[in-house]
Amino acid sequence: MRNLTLTALAAVCLLGTTGCFSFERKSNITGPAATGTTAFVGVWTSGNIIPSPNACGDFKWSVSEQTATTAKGSFSATCAGSLKLSGIAEGKLISPTSLEWKATGNATAPDLASCPISLTGTAELQSDSIKVPYRGTTCLGDVQGVESLKKR
């Protein structure tokens, strides 16, 4: 009787409209185009290593923390030739792919005392990069520009 019950159950599973088995496919976006609470996390760098006189280049942004509303990490850049910037960059997510950010820190250069710096902008997550328009002040004057950072 027991074998008959199991055989009947197996037949119902195979022939029934709902079935006893299902197949499921899951997809997960893991590249820079992903959105959510880790979309900005990682190490991002720019390809522009030689900045023009009123701009910055060689950006490195290491985003170590991201929540549903904020992101934070360390940054460095080179401005006006040899002015080396380093500090903390943090921001508020204004959409899943936009971050209103500010960076503060210090700048150093040969034969120049360390001085405070400040940069701001709105970063836009692209399909394989982050577009980072910026403007700010350094001890050598104002800087502004747009950098494209790639995840490394």
As a whole number of angstroms, the distance between CA 109 and CA 118 comes to 16
Annotated domain spans of the chain: 42-151
Tens of pLDDT, residue by residue over 100-149, are 999 999 999 988 889 999 999 999 999 889 999 999 998 888 999 999 99
- The Cα–Cα gap between 110 and 29 comes to 44
Q: Look at residue 49 in the predicted model and tell me its pLDDT.
A: 62
In the structure encoding, which two tokens stand for residue 39, read together?
A: 């979309």
Would you say the C-alpha torsion 128, 102, 74, 104 has a positive or negative sign? positive
What would the mean pLDDT of 73-83 be, rounded to a whole number?
A: 88
Report residue 79's pLDDT band, with 50, 70 and 90 as the boundaries: confident
pLDDT at 13 over 50: no
**Position 148, amino acid:** S
pLDDT(74) > 90: yes
Question: 42-151 sits in which CATH class?
Answer: mainly beta
* Beta-bridge mates of residue 108: 84
- Assess whether pLDDT exceeds 50 at residue 152: yes
